A and B are shown apart, each in its own frame.
Chain A
Amino acid sequence: MGPLIPQGIITGQWDFVIALLIGTAFGFILESSGFSSSRNIAGVFYGYNFVVLRVFFTAMIVAMVGLLYFNYLGWIEMDMVFVLPTYLAPMILGGFIMGLGFVIGGFCPGTSYTACAIGKLDGFAFLGGFIIGVFIFAEAFPLFENFYYSGYMGNITIGEVFNISNELVTFIFVIVAIVAFYVTWLIEKKVRKNRTESKFE
């Protein structure tokens, strides 16, 4: 059955309608998970709040397991699902820069919009910086264009790189996620005990 657009079940013009619906749902879940507060988000780096890790890891393993069952039942054709191409070194650097922005600003791009949506001033400040950053990046792009496109590995998945099945990758991720949940819960408990400036429920 799926994916709907590549199979021609619905036309590509539905792209934006679907994006709007998913975006709304995504924003709603971000806000209801407390992601509109930069304190919650930056907490990952200080060890007192791992909600970001929990929410994203949960979303990831649920999606992975769900998609593989859907694929098994023939509801979605995984071979037709778009896989973002990998540019290894630029992506590692990009991830590092994004993480830096995360810890300095207390938001990631999506959560800054969530913060703006509920009228947080720090969200608007982050958004302003974000737009200036986009502008600088676009203007300076020719300077690092070669690096940007280097290390191209194609539309690959982790399973293809290590030559193991997607099912095994998913299983490993689920185990890693659950171990991470437990370990971060322990860290959180320890750090929060020593903290006096803020209270947690």
Chain B
Amino acid sequence: MNKNYLFLAILMIILAGGLLILPERTNYTQINPEDLLWDIIQPSRYVTTDQVAKMLIEQDPTLELIDVRCAKEYNKFALPNAINIPLDSILSPNYSDYLGIEDMNAVFYCNDDILADQAWVIAKRMNISRIYIMKGGLNCWIKTIIQPTPPPETASGDEFDQYDFRKGASMYFTGASISAPKSDSKSQVTIKRKKKTTATAGGC
């Protein structure tokens, strides 16, 4: 047998054996810097607390809430059905299955925007699409959904509608049926709104 063939056969076995002992590949596929910058300046990467509340109430199956705070804070309080992926382990293979699920809208949140924003950028660089940040985080959630403040009397009808929704959502999430007597103030609101509509109708 030709010696060259023997040499080539051994080389091939060494190369193939080398594949087996190679360490796990760590170079992630990254998004283009231009695309990343373009996506970062899009306001559409934020969702409001109202949108999240609406999706939760409607039990939207495409919503995937991701809490990027540490496990301790997550155990203390978290949004319903949220999963905990602490920011420092977002690249860990344990959690890679939770990101980039087809047809799922992943919404990152933390106490404010900062951690969620970092998580968003990391996930975006990994070329994961359909990821969002809950604007204002849990602080905004408490302020707007759990303890909504009534708008001023001069506010538009939309704002009153939003307030009504938030009060309903607050009851939904806190289970506070005690707030039923507050419905008086709710009816006052509707009266005010009626006034406004007639006023505009007259103007026409």
Contact = CB atoms under 8 A, between A and B. Distances in A.
A175 B9 CA distance: 9
**Binding site of A, secondary structure by majority: helix, strand, loop or mixed?**
helix
Nearest to A172: B16
B72 interface: no
A18 interface: no
B22 A178 contact: no
A61 B16 contact: yes
B27 interface: yes
Interface in A167-201: 167-168, 170-171, 173-175, 177-178, 181, 185
Nearest to B30: A74
A69 B9 CA distance: 18
A77 interface: yes
Interface string B1-20: 10001000100110111011
A181 B13 CA distance: 13
A178 B12 contact: yes
B16 A65 contact: yes
Contacts of B15: 65, 69, 174
Nearest to A179: B9
B20 A167 contact: yes
Given A72-B25, A74-B27, A171 B9 contact: no
A197 B9 CA distance: 32
A74 B19 CA distance: 14
B2 to A, nearest CB: 10
B29 interface: yes
B12 A174 contact: yes
A170 B16 contact: yes
A174 B22 contact: no
A143 to B, nearest CB: 38
A61 B13 CA distance: 10
A161 B114 CA distance: 43
B12 A168 contact: no
A68 interface: yes
A98 B148 CA distance: 73
Contact of B9 (A72, A168, A170, A181): A181
B1 A185 contact: yes
A179 B55 CA distance: 61
Given A178-B9, A185-B1, A77 B29 contact: yes
B19 A171 contact: yes
Contacts of A181: 5, 9
Contacts of A173: 16
A57 to B, nearest CB: 10
A61 B16 CA distance: 9
B19 A167 contact: yes
A71 interface: yes
Contacts of B20: 167-168, 171
Contacts of B17: 171
A61, A68, A69, A174 — which one has the most chain B CB atoms within 10 A of its CB? A174
B133 to A, nearest CB: 27
Contacts of A175: 13, 16
A61 B25 CA distance: 21
A65 B17 CA distance: 10
A189 to B, nearest CB: 10
Contacts of A178: 9, 12-13
Nearest to A186: B1
Interface of B: 1, 5, 9, 12-13, 15-17, 19-20, 22, 25, 27, 29
Which 8 A-B residue pairings sit nearest by Cβ, starting from the closest? A174-B16, A167-B19, A171-B16, A74-B27, A178-B9, A65-B15, A68-B19, A167-B20
8 contacts: A62-B12, A71-B25, A72-B22, A74-B27, A167-B19, A168-B20, A174-B15, A181-B9
